[in-house]
Structure 1
Amino acid sequence: MPSEYTYMKLRSDCSRPSLQWYTRAQSKMRRPSLLLKDILKCTLLVFGVWILYILKLNYTTEECDMKKMHYVDPDRVKRAQKYAQHVLQKECRPKFAKTSMAMLFEHRYSVDLLPFVQKAPKDSEAESKYDPPFGFRKFSGKVQTLLELLPEHDLPEHLKAKTCRRCVVVGSGGILHGLELGHTLNQFDVVIRLNSAPVEGYSEHVGNKTTIRMTYPEGAPLSDLEYYSNDLFVAVLFKSVDFNWLQAMVKHETLPFWVRLFFWKQVAEKIPLQPKHFRILNPVIIKETAFDILQYSEPQSRFWGRDKNVPTIGVIAVVLATHLCDEVSLAGFGYDLSQPRTPLHYFDNQCMAAMNFQTMHNVTTETKFLLKLVKEGVVKDLSGGIYCEF
């Protein structure tokens, strides 16, 4: 007959597996919780690094002293003004820009490409092959919604009626400051301005006529003074929230706070234009500019960073101008990276050296492209930043 000690020992031995099973089960239950915490920590870490990266891009650029801006030779000012007037006085040649681009780039430039989106893309069309900004893959529904809000999708009738149109694409380059080309620039049929480059306070140098303001949400002017009632606002859509922003601007609605969190800088809360003045840039123009004309590599999925395969708004605008106008001129273009202490823009105190920190655009390739256009006579460089002909 077992003693009391033996009985207690047997009872203890029998209960031990149950205790071990309970401990193991409890440990397994903790694992998903621990895994979730690890994922959360990693997410917060990545988000923190991203925030620091954005802050670095926006706040570590060297500032130039605008009071010490490079001297502009009065003789150069006179020559630039004379040259610009000469360009305007020459006879306008119908379809010259398109024909020249087609000859220069053969099968890499589509002569019949529509400048603005007029209908939502179908799955079989070029717009559906790529993600923004090169296409509208998976966004055809949002495009359709936007188009239903926009009553017009082409140039205004008074511009279409002209038998020969002259375009000037006004860049933001510091080289514009001091040339006093404003009066001449105002005489072009179509004046295309980029991003938030201001007119107010600089009209002597850059003019005050705006036909098209071409930009994306983060680049749109914040001041109502930079919008004129007859301007066309041409939106370049890079990401999903850009569609939400554009819809809010067209409908004059307030953009939800959670949507604003996805922009890398402050965006305009309203654009004082009627719906008929909004246009959506045809993304095939960006695709063709990037992959066909500039021959950048097509986008590759990657965890961090990006390929330098997105053209600048300026170069996209130049290609757009060849589709809109018969004769095309440039002003305020050219990055002279050999002079890092010269002003990057005509309106702020950023130095040219800031271009060395940007990670999206291939400035060298774009400069070669613009130089080719000027030397081949496809476009005219009124300020001489790409190639001086005066």
Structure 2
Amino acid sequence: MTLFGARQATLMLAALALTGFMYMYYHTDFIQTFEYLQSNTECACRFCMSMEGDDPWFTQRYKPSIQPLLTKKNSALTKEVYNWWQSLQYASHRANYTAVIEKLFKLFPDNAQYTDAGPDRCRTCAVVGNSGNILGSHYGNLIDSHDFVLRMNRAPTKGFEKDVGSKTTHRIIYPESAVDVDNSTHLVLFAFKTLDLQWLISAFTTKDITQTYTRVRPTIQANRDKVMVLHPAFMKYVHESWLQKHGGYPSTGFLTLALALHICDEVNVFGFGADKNGNWHHYFEAIRSNYHTGLHGGNFEYDTALQLFTKNKIQMFRGW
């Protein structure tokens, strides 16, 4: 072998060795990087609502440690939470909160719910609002494909299945908007006053509470083992962290959206906002009254929902 040939062979061997080393290095690095990304995935969905290295606007508002649902164990309220919650109530509606809680959890489930979040879970939520913009949307099958379908107040499905679907896993109510639900549906009470908790107890026992600030149903049909109550501290958190104290307190719709952000990995929103003509009305009402936001910061709530949409935290389906 000539000197040139020996040198060429040596260089080739060195190049092959270096190539092999670099391949092993980068291949190992790629595998480690892939495994790292896999181990840091927040959920098993194609898209996870909450992710590592999230947007500062979102992380400033979203507090993953807060418990959205009330249990006996977490029922003690701080002075700040208690005073805020009491401020929503009529003076005549106030009662001994601790005594009411004792009665409440003798009747209804007292266990933490939806605490199984992790890289193996993919739970999808459809939050179905009552806006007239959902009419003619043909979203029914899409809505029913979700794991959880959350509906609010008396919003019906019968006769509107093509647009709103037929599945309901969680029905959000307060005493003044109560509606019967079937045995497979979770009844979720948003209690804006202690009397609301008392009404819930009464509705399943004595049936003697028939009046709050207006007449209410003395009883409802629901599965006692599927009753849940939104935590007052969660309401305050939504009002202050998400809504920056706009309005007197959050609307049922925005509270439901916030609840979905905390119990699901993917959140899709249907039937929120005005219709294509700028009118705010319910899809199930023949006479289309134009609803005002009242005590709620409706415009700010909707703008906040739009921010969640633009930051890819939720998807909004508006039907038009």
Q: CA deviation at 1:202?
A: 1.5
Q: Is the 8 A contact 2:77 2:233 kept in 1?
A: no
Name 2:69's counterpart in structure 1: 116
Q: CA deviation at 1:291?
A: 1.4
The one-character-per-residue Cα deviations of 1:51-98 (angstroms, maximum 9, x if unpaired) are xxxxxxxxxxxxxxxxxxxxxxxxxxxxxxxxxxxxxxxx72475347
TM-score normalised by the chain length of structure 2: 0.74
Name 1:148's counterpart in structure 2: 106
1:186 aligned partner, one-letter code: D
Q: Is the 8 A contact 1:121 1:127 kept in 2?
A: no
SS at the partner of 2:305? Answer: helix
Which whole-Å CA distance do the structure 2 matches of 1:348 and 1:327 have between them? 30
Which whole-Å CA distance do the structure 2 matches of 1:118 and 1:99 have between them? 29
Which whole-Å CA distance do the structure 2 matches of 1:95 and 1:129 have between them? 35
Identity level (%): 26
Name 2:213's counterpart in structure 1: 263
SS at the partner of 2:315? Answer: strand
Name 2:302's counterpart in structure 1: 367
1:321 aligned partner, one-letter code: A
Judged with a 3 Å threshold, the aligned counterparts in structure 2 of structure 1 residues 137 and 94 are, in CA distance, closer, same or farther, namely: farther
Q: Does 1:174 align with 2:132?
A: yes
Q: CA deviation at 1:238?
A: 1.3
2:103 aligned partner, one-letter code: T
Paired residue for 2:228, among 279, 289, 292? 279
Q: Is the 8 A contact 1:241 1:262 kept in 2?
A: yes
Name 1:96's counterpart in structure 2: 49
- Alignment gaps of 5+ in structure 1: 1-90, 298-307, 386-390
Aligned residues: 272
Q: CA deviation at 1:158?
A: 11
Q: Is the 8 A contact 1:98 1:322 kept in 2?
A: no
1:165 aligned partner, one-letter code: R
Name 2:163's counterpart in structure 1: 205
Q: CA deviation at 1:289?
A: 1.1
Q: CA deviation at 1:193?
A: 0.4
Paired residue for 2:250, among 297, 301, 311? 311
Name 1:214's counterpart in structure 2: 172
Judged with a 3 Å threshold, the aligned counterparts in structure 2 of structure 1 residues 157 and 374 are, in CA distance, closer, same or farther, namely: closer
Name 2:282's counterpart in structure 1: 345
SS at the partner of 1:289? Answer: helix
Q: Is the 8 A contact 1:332 1:383 kept in 2?
A: yes
Which whole-Å CA distance do the structure 1 matches of 2:119 and 2:216 have between them? 35
TM-score normalised by the chain length of structure 1: 0.62
Paired residue for 1:321, among 247, 260, 273? 260
- Alignment gaps of 5+ in structure 2: 1-43
Q: Is the 8 A contact 1:169 1:331 kept in 2?
A: yes
Q: Does 1:236 align with 2:175?
A: no
Q: Is the 8 A contact 1:337 1:353 kept in 2?
A: no
Which whole-Å CA distance do the structure 2 matches of 1:99 and 1:147 have between them? 36
Judged with a 3 Å threshold, the aligned counterparts in structure 2 of structure 1 residues 322 and 179 are, in CA distance, closer, same or farther, namely: same
Judged with a 3 Å threshold, the aligned counterparts in structure 2 of structure 1 residues 383 and 97 are, in CA distance, closer, same or farther, namely: farther
Judged with a 3 Å threshold, the aligned counterparts in structure 2 of structure 1 residues 262 and 272 are, in CA distance, closer, same or farther, namely: closer
Paired residue for 2:85, among 131, 138, 141? 131
Name 2:272's counterpart in structure 1: 333
2:172 aligned partner, one-letter code: M
Higher helix share: 1
Which whole-Å CA distance do the structure 1 matches of 2:97 and 2:51 have between them? 30
Which whole-Å CA distance do the structure 2 matches of 1:137 and 1:95 have between them? 41
Q: CA deviation at 1:350?
A: 4.4
